[in-house]
């Protein structure tokens, strides 16, 4: 976070020294895009916080449990698609899952959907790509996550 | 007025959270706590990123980007977007605005989706974190398996969207 702030600050200053008009135009443009997106972002964050409340970590551990096989995978993939957990929470959670007996392939499926598939982020994605393309990208990624699990299982 | 209607859902949501706190409604308070946690992460990170994207837009000419990751860029272009994505940080929704600016500067469809795939799964700052919690073997294996998979997704999306007037819209 600090790194990003410093980078942004330096970029603005250097850019301003070269061309103040261009800089103002660029910053304005960036902030306008942000403000246009803000209502959708707030909607997304509201959805995330509700999902996070409805499906707490304990529930995830319970459902993924030791049940590997197709059901376990589908549960892992669905939970991963539904939630949007930042890495600093996701990886510790996965390490707990591992210790509670969940297999590596299931973890791989869970992580991949967590990262690539986002149902709660769909409204934001659709603002950029349109609904149809966004849904297709997420669906393809969902299948890909299962595929990654299968390869993982064959290799481990 | 029109501006306000766009915020109708967030306003209703925040009102719900506010009332929950007033009435000590535990579920509402917990959801409010979650919201604050995620909101903090976003509100610091995204405006800065959008400013960088705005500056990128005014300074970097289209021809430069198009040459490297555009229609005729080949595997070198793909390598370049993967490298670019893997050095970044942040949640997936942070990648969408960046994908927009790459598209505007002439990046081809395949590389846009490869960028999104790489951004979401193989960011280097995140992999170091993953190794810490899940071990080197698992993390490396997952990365190596995922890499070709999202490149294939890039090809699938390109094949599907090629004749469909695909565009990445400005929000």
Complex-level ipTM: 0.88
Contact A91 B150 (CB under 8 A): no
Q: Where are the alpha helices (DSSP H) in A83-121?
A: 87-99, 104-116
How distant is the Cα of A82 from the closest Cα of chain B, in angstroms?
Answer: 14
Q: For A99-128, how does the pLDDT look when each residue is reduced to its tens digit (9 = 90+)?
A: 888 889 999 999 999 999 999 999 999 999
Closest chain B residue to A155, measured at CA: B141
Domain borders along chain A are 1-39, 55-155
- What CA–CA distances, in Å, run from B152 to A131, B110, B122? 21, 9, 15
* Spatial separation of the C-alpha atoms in residues B31 and A48, rounded to whole Å: 9
What is the pTM (predicted TM-score) of this model?
Answer: 0.89
Establish if B69 touches chain A: CB-CB under 8 angstroms.
Answer: no
Q: For B85-135, how does the pLDDT look when each residue is reduced to its tens digit (9 = 90+)?
A: 998 877 888 899 999 999 999 999 999 999 999 999 998 888 888 999 999
Nearest to A115 among B120, B132, B145 (CB): B120
Size of interface A-B (CB pairs under 8 A): 197
What is the distance of C-alpha A95 from the center of its chain? 18
pLDDT at B32: 94
Average pLDDT over residues A2-30: 93
Contacts of B150 in chain A (CB under 8 A): 116, 141, 144
Residue A66 clears pLDDT 80, i.e. is over it? no
Establish if B15 touches chain A: CB-CB under 8 angstroms.
Answer: no
User: Which parts of chain B register pLDDT below 70?
Assistant: 1-2
């Amino acid at each position: 976070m600090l790194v990003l702030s410093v980078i942004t600050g330096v970029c603005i200053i250097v850019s301003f020294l070269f061309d103040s008009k261009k800089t103002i135009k660029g910053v304005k443009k960036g902030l306008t895009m942000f403000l246009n997106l803000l209502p959708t972002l707030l909607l997304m964050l509201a959805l995330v916080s509700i999902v996070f409340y409805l499906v707490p970590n304990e529930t995830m551990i319970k459902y993924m449990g030791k049940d590997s096989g197709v059901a376990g995978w589908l549960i892992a993939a669905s939970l991963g698609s539904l939630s949007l957990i930042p890495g600093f929470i996701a990886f510790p959670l996965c390490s707990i899952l591992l210790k509670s007996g969940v297999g590596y392939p299931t973890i791989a499926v869970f992580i991949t959907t967590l990262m690539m598939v986002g149902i709660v982020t769909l409204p934001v994605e659709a603002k950029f790509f349109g609904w149809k393309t966004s849904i297709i990208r997420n669906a393809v990624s969902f299948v890909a996550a299962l595929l990654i699990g299968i390869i993982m299982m064959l290799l481990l | 007025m029109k501006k306000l209607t766009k915020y109708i859902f967030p306003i209703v949501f925040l009102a719900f959270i506010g009332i929950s706190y007033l009435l000590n409604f535990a579920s509402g308070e917990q959801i409010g706590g979650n919201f604050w946690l995620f909101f903090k992460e976003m509100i610091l990170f995204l405006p800065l990123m959008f400013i960088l994207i705005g500056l990128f837009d005014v300074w970097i000419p289209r021809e430069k980007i198009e040459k490297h990751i555009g229609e005729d860029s080949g595997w070198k272009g793909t390598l370049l977007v993967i490298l670019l994505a893997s050095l970044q940080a942040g949640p997936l929704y942070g990648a969408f605005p960046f994908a927009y600016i790459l598209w505007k500067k002439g990046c081809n469809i395949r590389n846009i989706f490869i960028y999104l795939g790489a951004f979401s799964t193989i960011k280097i700052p995140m992999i170091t974190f993953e190794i810490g919690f899940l071990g080197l073997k698992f993390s490396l294996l997952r990365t190596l398996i995922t890499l070709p998979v999202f490149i294939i997704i890039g090809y699938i999306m390109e094949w599907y969207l090629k004749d469909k007037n695909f565009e990445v819209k400005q929000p």
